[in-house]
A and B are shown apart, each in its own frame.
Chain A
Amino acid sequence: MLHDAWVMARKDLRIERGSRVVLGQILPFGALVLILFGLAISPDLTVLGTERRTVLAQAAPGLFWMAVLFSSLLALGRSFAIEAADGNLDALKMAGLDPAGIFVGKSVAVTVELMVLEVLLGFGAFVLYGAPLADPVLLATALLLATTAVTSAGTLYAALASGLRVRDTLVPLLVLPVLAPVLLAATLATDAAVFGPTGNGWSWTMLLGVFALLYLGIGMLSFGPIMEES
């Protein structure tokens, strides 16, 4: 299983290295979302009761995660677009790859891509919104666990909706409600990491870990039946 996952992840990342869709198209999209949030929420609004902290800085963790979620939808779409081409998934199954391995491999590949994107977008949010950074360790842990939760749930749902015609519009509708708790926990953990230990940053991070394990488990169990084509 682990070997098959490794093969899958390497294949997907190699395709990305060749085509640069995530870095060349999805990353600029995410940066654009960050900028548009700045235009939508005036940069001059400040939060009452704080030493002139802007609303934009205060909301930075949530806005950052919204930008990541939107980008993840595109990355997941891309992850299955490269398989749909010639019934690739069928071929992989024929080749005897473990469905659970395929699931983990695809999730890992998207996780790696998103982590790169998040570091760059996080830097963007740091600059654009003027948000501080109090606890880098907490931030890194929260990023990794939240991203794993997003990609494992996302890969599962993208597979459920994969077919020839309707996928693009259905995946966001299926994935986003499920990711609502992940967004909640990720935003609160990031908030604690950015502004200092005011909330329960680590407990939210633990919750992200639980989500990640849960969706990885569900995905590994159900990927076989999902991929069965008859």
Chain B
Amino acid sequence: MNQTTGSRATRILGVGALVALAVMLVFGLVFSPPEVDQRDAVRLMYIHLPSVAVAYTGFAITLVASVIHLRKGSVFWDLVAGAAAEIAVLFTGFVLISGALWGKPTWGVYWQWDPRLTSTTVMFIMYLGYLALRRLDLPPEVRSRRAAILGIISFINVIIVHYSVQWWRGLHQGQTLGVDTKLDGMMLFTLFLSVVAFMTVGAWLLIHRFRVAWLEYQIGLLGFEHALAERRAENETSGLYGSGA
């Protein structure tokens, strides 16, 4: 009997992720050169950008899985939506932390009222709310349906928040803050490598996190069936409801 959420596929994926991360670290911290203006701070890009990639992929998976769940009502897609959202929230946290630490040496401050920064933070909190809704004490089907609705609306809201904040800043002061980074071939390669590494980690995590959710669901079912069986046995011995079938 297998005692973990691992399988052949995840072990291969996991080893791949570890190797990719190790290579990425060597390239990111050693081989890739410092940038002209930002010096070594540019190395934070190799964790910042791939975290963005994983986070947005995760939220997109939540959106798609929510739509499928609403249409078909299958438990599988509900759990996929929840697992993807949790991972995406974690990586959004990475985006914010690495972004703040990158901002200090390049902009001089940890935080700017920049549209992207502001809307990413609001998005982070919005999906914390989504995860909180998934833990509500409701009948499972009701909770799943509401989570799916929220999973869809949240994605729309991210877009709305982003554009309204952009408009707000646009009216107040000239340009959106960008990081004017000059990348050479080595940097681009390292960036590519880091995105591959993080996406592999994300995929591996998604499978494991989904399996944990699936096991939780099965335990819930087992408990329910157990209670039902006990109830039937009780009824049969007391003879109140006949065979109880």
A residues whose Cβ falls under 8 Å from a Cβ of B: 156, 160-161, 163-166, 170, 173-174, 177-178, 180-181, 184-185, 188, 199-200, 207, 211, 214, 218, 222, 225-226, 228-230
Contacts and interface: CB of A to CB of B under 8 A. Distances in A.
Contacts of B67: none
Nearest to B121: A177
B133 A160 contact: yes
Contacts of A177: 122-123, 125-126, 129, 157, 161
Contacts of A225: 70, 145, 149
B161 A180 contact: yes
Contact of A163 (B137, B150, B157, B167): B137
A185 B97 CA distance: 28
Contacts of A222: 149, 153
Interface in B97-155: 122-123, 125-126, 128-129, 132-133, 136-139, 141-142, 145-146, 149-150, 153
A230 B129 contact: no
Contacts of A178: 126, 157
18 contacts: A160-B133, A160-B146, A160-B149, A164-B137, A177-B122, A177-B129, A177-B161, A180-B122, A181-B161, A184-B165, A200-B171, A207-B164, A218-B156, A225-B70, A225-B145, A226-B145, A230-B139, A230-B141
B90 interface: no
A173 B132 contact: yes
Contacts of B145: 225-226, 228
B220 to A, nearest CB: 16
A166 to B, nearest CB: 5
A93 B171 CA distance: 46
B122 to A, nearest CB: 5
B137 A165 contact: yes
B132 A170 contact: yes
Contacts of B150: 160, 174
Contacts of B125: 173, 177
Contacts of B165: 180-181, 184
B160 interface: yes
Given A161-B136, A180-B122, A184-B165, A228 B142 contact: yes
A226 B156 CA distance: 18
Contacts of A214: 160
A170 to B, nearest CB: 6
Nearest to B124: A177
A166 B167 CA distance: 36
B129 A229 contact: no
Contacts of B138: 163
Nearest to A160: B146
Given A166-B137, A173-B129, 10 more contacts: A166-B136, A177-B126, A177-B157, A188-B168, A211-B160, A222-B149, A225-B145, A225-B149, A226-B145, A228-B145
A211 B167 CA distance: 15
B160 A181 contact: yes
